[in-house]
């Protein structure tokens, strides 16, 4: 299968990626971290597959989707084009859709229950693969957000670590829409403390991913230790013109 290049789209996205990367470098330097210590994930939620292709052609090697029904066809399209990227499932994952993505993701960011982890484990065993996951932590305490409350994480980890064919890599969190300046950073700082505590608790060498920060707050997230930031609008533009599948 051949790829029909859209040079204007590639240039727009490439320029945006460059701007975001420059901003990432500024934030890492400001916080005393090493350049290259933050992984940029381009979130193509609701955007046509051509946007994801353009990002890949611009050198972005990590792409994220919120919904299984959008991730799967994009993964298949990239496979047909022989484009190699790391796919991240960052949105809420329902148990009945786990079977569609096993073996297709580099990392599932949004494991928010033991039951979901058990389903991922079962499907991974059946497909003879090991699936890397993050536990979603609801540090802000908002009822509208999914995830484990901080006090629920250690008991959950004890159970999930015993499951076969699952590799727990760390935590993901989402900050609230700020009602006062610095609110997001407070949540990120709390999550970093929890992350470090759990790293000692688990003793896992592979506990190395702290996924937090989006277009509106990624600089604060980087200053508080985020290793993976999930950026959509700042790279791909306004998604309101597109409808989800």
> Cα–Cα distance between 42 and 165 in angstroms, integer?
27
pLDDT in tens, 69-108: 999 999 999 999 999 999 999 999 999 999 999 999 999 9
Assess if residue 245 is contained within a domain. Answer: no
Q: Which segment of 41-45, 169-173, 182-186 scores lowest on mean pLDDT?
A: 182-186
> Cα–Cα distance between 213 and 172 in angstroms, integer?
9
Q: At 211, which CATH number?
A: 3.20.20.10
Q: What is the pLDDT of residue 179?
A: 61
If you average pLDDT over every residue of the chain, what do you get?
93
Q: What is the pLDDT of residue 242?
A: 74
Assess if residue 243 is contained within a domain. Answer: no
Assess if residue 216 is contained within a domain. Answer: yes
> Residue 158: which domain range?
7-236
The CA–CA distances, whole Å, from 211 to 39, 48, 110 equal 9, 24, 10
Across the range 10-28, mean pLDDT stands at: 97
**pLDDT above 80 for 157:** yes
> Cα–Cα distance between 110 and 117 in angstroms, integer?
10
**pLDDT above 80 for 119:** yes
Domains of the chain: total: 1
Asked if 87 and 71 touch (Cβ cutoff 8 Å), the reply is yes
Assess if residue 2 is contained within a domain. Answer: no
Assess if residue 120 is contained within a domain. Answer: yes
Assess if residue 1 is contained within a domain. Answer: no
**pLDDT above 50 for 1:** no
DSSP string, 91-154: S---GGGHHHHTTT-SEEEEE-SHHHHHHHHHHHHHTT--EEEEEEB--S--TTS-SB-GGGHH
Assess if residue 13 is contained within a domain. Answer: yes
Q: What is the pLDDT of residue 144?
A: 67
**Bridge-partner residues for 40, per DSSP?**
229
Q: What is the pLDDT of residue 3?
A: 52
Asked if 153 and 164 touch (Cβ cutoff 8 Å), the reply is no
Compare 2 and 140 and report the one with higher pLDDT. Answer: 140
């Amino acid at each position: 299968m051949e790829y029909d290049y859209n040079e204007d789209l590639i240039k727009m996205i490439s320029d945006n990626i460059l701007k975001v990367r420059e901003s990432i470098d500024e934030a890492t330097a400001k916080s005393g971290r090493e350049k290259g210590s933050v992984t940029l994930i381009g979130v193509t939620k609701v955007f046509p597959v051509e946007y994801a292709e353009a990002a890949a052609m611009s050198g972005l090697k990590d792409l994220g989707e919120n919904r299984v029904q959008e991730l799967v066809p994009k993964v298949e399209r990239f496979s047909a084009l022989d484009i190699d990227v790391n796919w991240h499932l960052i949105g809420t994952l329902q148990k009945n859709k786990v079977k569609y993505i096993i073996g297709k993701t580099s990392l599932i960011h949004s494991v928010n229950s033991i039951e979901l982890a058990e389903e991922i484990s079962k499907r991974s065993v059946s497909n003879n693969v090991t699936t890397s996951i993050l536990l979603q932590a609801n540090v802000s305490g908002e009822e509208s957000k999914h995830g484990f409350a901080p006090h629920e994480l250690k008991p959950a980890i004890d159970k999930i670590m015993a499951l076969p064919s699952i590799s727990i890599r760390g935590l993901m969190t989402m900050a609230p829409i700020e009602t006062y300046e610095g609110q997001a950073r407070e949540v990120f700082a709390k999550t970093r403390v929890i992350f470090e505590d759990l790293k000692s608790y688990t003793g896992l060498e592979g506990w190395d991913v702290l996924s937090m920060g989006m277009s509106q707050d990624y600089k604060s997230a980087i200053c508080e230790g985020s290793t993976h930031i999930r950026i959509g609008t700042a790279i791909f533009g306004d998604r309101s013109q597109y409808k989800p599948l």
